[in-house]
Structure 1
């Protein structure tokens, strides 16, 4: 998230154009390391009538090597276009043309392309599409569950997570709860020593911690 916020701050300060795209069936585009031999059964309806196995050449979803194979495949392509990985975050790539800064930020199969103009951002996507299959999604509006409202002329960006908040409320059956604008400490109530079911809270904290 620090990388995303930093990119947004630079975008607002420099009034950059931003386009979003995602890789089409990303993992399947990546090749498996030739030193790794993985065999699979012939898929139903496409066999040759024998019990011979098939050698995987490209990654498949669910394969433990797939994510790394895609990362390395993507990195090779972007670096090959003249970008360099950020020293801070290997999923952020930078390219300098004089005083113009161009950036490609990736999160698994999601891409954000930053450039001086929309035409230049589209040109970068054109470069990427010569090496991988992409689905262009136009100007950024959502990224990693964050709603992004961007006024390029004013250099103003607003990030909100209303959709995520509503999802959490729905999950815990609180869509009809009363809303408050005051800090939490001002609306807390004491319920004595009545036993409390902490399981919903534990599910929420486990989700935050990635468990």
Structure 2
């Protein structure tokens, strides 16, 4: 098929086209191939596969979650079956073994699948079981990072970053191999899936990807030495942009289920405003988790507790009045007030020295760091007792 654009690659009128592979093109020809089916590796392949899988699974009364489109659930009386899909890999679970067997039999009749047995390793995440529950970690992934950096024999450190360290744009020579630093930070970002205590420092490292310097790499290597041992306070934490850091962690019972550390998009005028923006971000995450629990289905009738160590921020949330010093705050931040009025959340004060979220917003000294780490429930299952 002749085309005007020789670099055409995508969909036209619901038809899929691609450039001819090397060796099948003549010089000067502007042609593309029309595909009768999606090929593995093309961006359309994953979309086509997801459509086909969704159509098949809906025939046996599975419902797709609106909170997470990769989650499918089936409720049949007292039985519950769950599928979590990632491209062509999936995790299947439920509360009745017979329902899981029936689901596997159906999938086998529709697709070519390989049953790997009980979940032990998924997308780099290791899964261990005990009488007290399920534990996830990325030990092998961490060791691979240390091996690539040649730090398997390095001396461990007790904390991932010094409490008084402030990273800036300048301060040392630029790296001769910037991609080396960027690859390391990208790997560390994926490691934050199971290591909440390094979220803040990894978020800081990612802000220097454009022009990484030697002191940035040295700080990253210190973090690796901390990982080897366990496979200053200003409310405007960033000295470059003066923007504060939003941090929160959410527990379901005693289990940590969600956490975040991210630089705020605007400069706050006070610590109260900083805390209020963080409360808004946590409130949005709590609302999303409520929708997810409904899909599972898990009833959560009581309001979620939202703890904050700033009395002024709590006052703003409880009294939705536009004072002179708060009227500039974005309307979206006032979702906290709305959720309080609906009875979905309940705010409470927590003393600063007991605020676990400090782990996600600033460097801490070793005693405080490890105290908060214990509260998060982070343990090393490979440490001998």
Normalised by the size of structure 2, how large is the TM-score? 0.37
SS in 2 for 1:148: strand
My pick for the range that moved more, 135-144 or 110-119, is: 110-119
Aligned counterpart, 1:163: 140
C-alpha distance in structure 2 between counterparts of 1:55 and 1:185, whole Å:
54
**2:106 aligned with 1:130, yes or no?**
no
Contact 1:106 1:112 in 2 (8 A): yes
Aligned counterpart, 1:90: 69
SS in 1 for 2:154: coil
Bigger Rg, which one? 2
C-alpha distance in structure 2 between counterparts of 1:161 and 1:188, whole Å:
29
Normalised by the size of structure 1, how large is the TM-score? 0.65
SS in 2 for 1:95: strand
**2:152 aligned with 1:175, yes or no?**
yes
Superposed, 1:189-208 pairs within 5 Å as 195=173, 197=175, 199=178, 200-206=180-186, 208=189
Aligned counterpart, 1:144: 123
Superposed, 1:99-110 pairs within 5 Å as 99-110=78-89
Bigger share in helix: 2
Bigger share in strand: 1
Structure 1 vs Structure 2 CA RMSD:
3.4
C-alpha distance in structure 1 between counterparts of 2:148 and 2:121, whole Å:
21
Aligned counterpart, 1:57: 36
C-alpha distance in structure 2 between counterparts of 1:119 and 1:81, whole Å:
15
Aligned counterpart, 2:349: none
Ranges of 4+ aligned residues in structure 1 off by more than 6 Å: 39-42
Deviations 1:28-62 (A, max 9, x none): xxxx99941547869x9xxxxxxxx9853321123
Higher RCO (CA 8 Å, separation ≥ 6 residues):
1
SS in 2 for 1:130: helix
Deviations 1:142-163 (A, max 9, x none): 1121100124xx3510111101
Alignment gaps of 5+ in structure 2: 1-10, 24-31, 166-170, 191-205, 210-385
Contact 1:94 1:102 in 2 (8 A): yes
C-alpha distance in structure 1 between counterparts of 2:67 and 2:18, whole Å:
37
Contact 1:40 1:56 in 2 (8 A): no
- 1:196 deviates by 6.5
Superposed, 1:17-96 pairs within 5 Å as 35-38=14-17, 56-96=35-75
